[in-house]
Amino acid sequence: MIVLTADRVLTGAGAPIRSGAVAVDGDRIVWTGPVGDLPARWNAADRIDVPDSTLLPGMIDSHVHLSLAESPDLARERDIAASILRSGVTTVRDLGGPGPHVPAPPGLRVTAAGVPLTVPDGHCHHLGGAVTTTADISGRITTTAAAGARWIKAMVTGGFTTSGHTSPYTTQFTGGQLAAIVTAAREYGLRVAAHAHGTAGIRQAVRAGVDSIEHCTWMSEDGFDFDRGLVVEIAAAGITVCPTINEHARNAVGRLPWAVRREHLSVMLAAGVTLIPGTDSGIPHSRHDRFPQSLPAYTDLGLSAGEVVELCGRAAADALGLAEEIGTLARGRAADLIAVSGDPTRDLTALTRPILVMAAGNLHHHEPVPQEDIRS
């Protein structure tokens, strides 16, 4: 049993608690509230006081790739998971790797899609998920579900990281194939994430009834084809969008300049589309341990720092179907939490300075907590 105290506790559900405490028993949170209201039965618990800091739910990176190699490398996955945990991220959604492997490195909570579905010679075909017929689709999803996946990833358009003839601007699947993917996934209770850059692919994903759209860049051969009517459809359908913004997004120029992305995402947000942060880490130039550095970009969309904190906690947990397990510091939830110096609702860079990380009740100290602040 352990009690953690801090100047403020952001529970993810309600106002911040000043001079707050979180009590943990095993891998579960059993109490949250002001230090002065701590039940007497917790007086004998080990206690960690973290002054000048904030306790909040562990962050969620909603789009990563722990591996994009043709076969799993478990030792490398463990090292990557450890670096992610040190950054303050306790949960990731892994949206594609070598199949039929579903990553489960120690410490890090992973909700995974396994091998992504694509077409022969399509985007990420080297991972082994190429399908053509309805039987191919059903068989692949059966295998992925049996491996423990909770999501199915469909490469609705081509992408930028696969050599050959895949185009991010055009669709890879027919409408019938994508509908078959969604239907087969539903038979196993799995959600579907659609990789879609071009507007035609975004439209196809919406029509098929996917659960989330990844990237959603509205790109075309000669620029952009932003469809405001389709934005309204995305919002009405309750489809989540993960725009895969990393720490470099604000400085982007060339084919995907930040000024254009900022405008599109601002319109989507104003229309009621749910955005969740994800870095697409694992691809070139997107590090696994830099999720906190990606978050200030969301303030360019008109969000406050406090609203961004909620996006990578409670909102992401809800969008990923994990709200009963993580995302808030509430009784019965998993003991996934972090402590950071300062107040992230005023300054998001505080999230880049985690003092400690707790995942499933296990402590991972990023910076040593002074011994005088640990009492048994």
Q: What is the pLDDT at residue 374? A: 44
- Split at pLDDT 50, 70, 90, the class of 72 is confident
CA distance 361 to 364: 10
Q: What is the pLDDT at residue 160? A: 84
Degrees to nearest 5, angle at CA 95 with 94 and 101? 70
CA distance 365 to 50: 12
User: Does 258 have pLDDT greater than 70?
Assistant: yes
DSSP 106-152: SSSEEEE--SPBB-TT-TTGGGS-B--SHHHHHHHHHHHHHTT-SEE
100 and 115 Cβ atoms separated by less than 8 Å: yes
pLDDT in tens, 125-182: 989 999 999 999 999 999 999 999 999 999 999 988 777 778 999 999 999 999 999 9
Q: Which domains are delineated in the chain?
A: 2-57+326-365 (2.30.40.10), 59-320 (3.20.20.140)
pLDDT in tens, 83-124: 999 999 999 999 998 876 677 788 999 999 999 999 999 998
Q: What is the pLDDT at residue 188? A: 98
Q: Distances in Å between the alpha carbon of 70 and those of 73, 129, 161, 341?
A: 9, 11, 14, 40
Q: Which of 35-44, 303-312, 343-352 has the lowest mean pLDDT?
A: 35-44
8 and 54 Cβ atoms separated by less than 8 Å: yes
User: Does 370 have pLDDT greater than 60?
Assistant: no
Cα-trace Rg, the chain: 21
294 and 90 Cβ atoms separated by less than 8 Å: no
CA distance 302 to 349: 17
User: Does 375 have pLDDT greater than 50?
Assistant: no
User: Does 317 have pLDDT greater than 80?
Assistant: yes
Q: What is the pLDDT at residue 162? A: 77
Q: What is the pLDDT at residue 371? A: 46
